[in-house]
Amino acid sequence: MISKNYLITIVGPTAIGKTALSIQLANYFKAEIISCDSRQFYKEMTIGTAVPNTDELASAVHHFVQNRSIFDDYNVGSFERDALSKLDELFQKNPVQIMVGGSGLYVDAVLKGLDYFPDVDPKIREALTNQLQEKGIETLQEKLKELDPETYHSIAIDNPHRIMRALEICIGAEMPYSTFKNKPKTPRNFSSIKIGLNAEREVIYNRINKRVDNMLANGLLEEAEKLYPNKDLNALQTVGYRELFSFFDGEFTQEFAISEIKKNTRRFAKRQGTWFKKDEETLWFDYQTNINEIITKISDKINDI
């Protein structure tokens, strides 16, 4: 008899097999699945976000898959609130639940809680956006390096949205973004067990390349073309769509756009690995590990906690 709540969270690089494992574990523990893949929230995006297919969705109850519109204002803070509320409901039925996804910030939001930042004037973000468009990301990078070197050296410095978020806090609060981080968080009513899937880099890259080819065969180009009129929406600033928008704009050839999708997805997988390996408590497994071995490790962990 399990006497407390446990959230089993499956992490790892994209295309490693997290969805398949989450379904196996959900079926074994008679649990439901919280998806924390920030690209899979949006119902207009299916092929390019590798949403679980019809059979997978039918194999276990999933939450937060294609439940929002790209036109909705939805962010990690909203997800933290909604996911915790859903978990409270699910734990009434079963003390073990599953969470899966490759969005590290969203995983951390549920497991640990977010850092909270002061409200700032929206005009600051507007000015930063104009600066990005007119002078390029390098100008923003240099500004962040000047105002908050700690954040400059710790975030994905090629991600314009992360840079602008940090800068708007630095400017609006007149304090470094980093000073608002790592404050005490609200305790969770569950214990966390993190399972990481991994493979040799060449295997991961080959799986990514194959996935992109399959997406294209399944209609990614046509899906991106339908979304193209809304290309400036925040939800669409993501690998797989952004490169094809550049093709539609005449900036890339189709062949180059596809190669860029593969390259940028590989870079994303590398960043995911760096993020998730910071947590020393994660139990890592090769992606081909037998499910029974993983279940045994989880059961041992439950008995130890």
Tokens matching residue 174: 């007149």
Contact 45, 230 (CB under 8 A): no
13 labelled ligand-binding = yes
19 labelled ligand-binding = yes
Q: How many residues does the structure list for the chain? A: 305
How far is residue 50's CA from residue 35's CA, in Å, rounded to a whole number?
12
| Phi, psi dihedral angles at 8 (to 5 degrees) | -90, 120
Contact 176, 151 (CB under 8 A): yes
Q: 30, 88, 39, 87: which is closest to 61 by C-alpha?
A: 30
Tokens matching residue 46: 């299916």
10 labelled ligand-binding = no
| Phi, psi dihedral angles at 42 (to 5 degrees) | -100, 125
* Residue type present at position 287: Y
> How far is the CA of 52 from the CAs of 61, 79, 136, 140, in angstroms?
11, 19, 36, 37
The helix/strand/coil state of 247 is helix
118 labelled ligand-binding = no
Q: CB under 8 Å to 72, separation ≥6 — which residues? A: none
Count the Cβ atoms, other than its own, within 10 Å of residue 219: 14
3-state helix, strand, coil in the chain (%, to 5): 55, 10, 35
16 labelled ligand-binding = yes
9 labelled ligand-binding = no
Tokens matching residue 151: 């954040």
15 labelled ligand-binding = yes
Which residues are annotated as part of the binding site for ATP?
Answer: 12-19
Q: From the annotation, which residues make up the binding site? A: 12-19
Annotated binding site for substrate: 14-19
